[in-house]
Amino acid sequence: MNELSRAHIRDLMSQVLANQGRVLPDDDAADLREIGFRSLDFSELALRVEDATGEELNFDAPGLRRIATVGDVLDFLETLQRQ
């Protein structure tokens, strides 16, 4: 698997938000609800990561419930790539 760097995942996340006229803050502690990053946005981001790596990400709903910040999304996707 081609593992994406945190910076690359952040760039993909920024693209997802930019397509909706929103901007990804520089602060990893930014709350997803405050920036308008929803579950559909996460799904699109996950698909982009899969396309870039050529591998399917396997994750479960309980893991997603703990995600509240930009950093949480980045950490979650970084961890998934290593599984």
What domain range is 39 assigned to? 6-81
Predicted pLDDT at 47? 94
Whether 14 is covered by a domain: the verdict is yes
Splitting the chain (83 residues) into consecutive groups of 10 residues, what average pLDDT does each group show?
A: 89 96 96 94 94 87 84 92 79
* CB atoms near residue 72 (< 10 Å): 16
Report residue 57 as tokens: 């990400």
Q: In this structure, what CATH number is given to the domain that contains residue 16?
A: 1.10.1200.10
Whether 1 is covered by a domain: the verdict is no
3-state DSSP assignment of residue 35: helix
Predicted pLDDT at 7? 96
DSSP designation for 83: -
Whether 30 is covered by a domain: the verdict is yes
Report residue 62 as tokens: 């309980």
For the chain, what is the domain count? Answer: 1
